[in-house]
Amino acid sequence: MQFLSEQFLAAWVAAEHPACSNVSGLVVAKIDGAPQGKVAVSVEFSDGVVANAYLGSGRGRDLELTMPYELASQLFCRQADPAAEYMKGRLKMSGDMSMWLELLPVWQARMKDLEPSPLLEQTTI
């Protein structure tokens, strides 16, 4: 399946994710330079878990992330640290800083998981 396709997002939502304390809200990631052009992905969190993800820019977002496709794929493959990329300016954040600060450590811990994501071998980047 193609990275950032509807099929990919459905499989990603169905996969197991670590809890993000009690985060609830909408995160929109805007990704430039994807094979299909500009892509927006909306991820809904409810009580610390991923409840839904879909293509498109959801209304009422709490947090917006902007990045190039290359970085999005590196983050998915756990080849880049989101905090370091934020500090370099490649990953931009706007919106609810407290939500960002709750999501970031969980995202960084995911990078250190020894087992690769089961989706990785099924995904074409």
The answer to whether position 72 is within a domain reads yes
Angle at 42 between CA 119 and CA 22, to 5 degrees: 85
125 assigned to some structural domain: no
| Position 50 in a domain | yes
Q: Is residue 124 a part of any domain in this protein?
A: no
Strand-pairing partners, residue 86, are none
How far are the Cα atoms of 1, 45, 102 from residue 22, in angstroms, in the given order?
Answer: 31, 9, 9
- Residue 69 is part of a domain; what is its CATH number? 3.30.1050.10
- pTM given for the model: 0.92
Distance between CA atoms of residues 46 and 71, nearest Å: 26
Q: Is residue 121 domain-resident?
A: no
Interval 20-74: pLDDT, tens = 888 999 999 999 999 999 999 999 999 999 999 999 999 999 999 999 999 999 9
pLDDT reported for residue 20: 83
What is Dmax (Cα atoms) for the chain? Answer: 36
Which band of pLDDT confidence, cut at 50, 70 and 90, is reported for residue 112? confident
The pLDDT of residue 11 is above 70: yes
**Single-letter amino acid code for the residue at 85:** E
Q: Which domain holds residue 68?
A: 6-112
| pLDDT tier, 114 (very low <50, low <70, confident <90, very high otherwise) | low
Mean pLDDT of 87-108: 95
Domains in the chain, number: 1
- Confirm whether 84 is domain-assigned: yes
Q: Where are the alpha helices (DSSP H) in the chain?
A: 6-14, 69-76, 82-88, 97-111
- With respect to residue 120, please indicate whether it lies within any of the assigned structural domains: no
Residue 118 in any domain: the answer is no
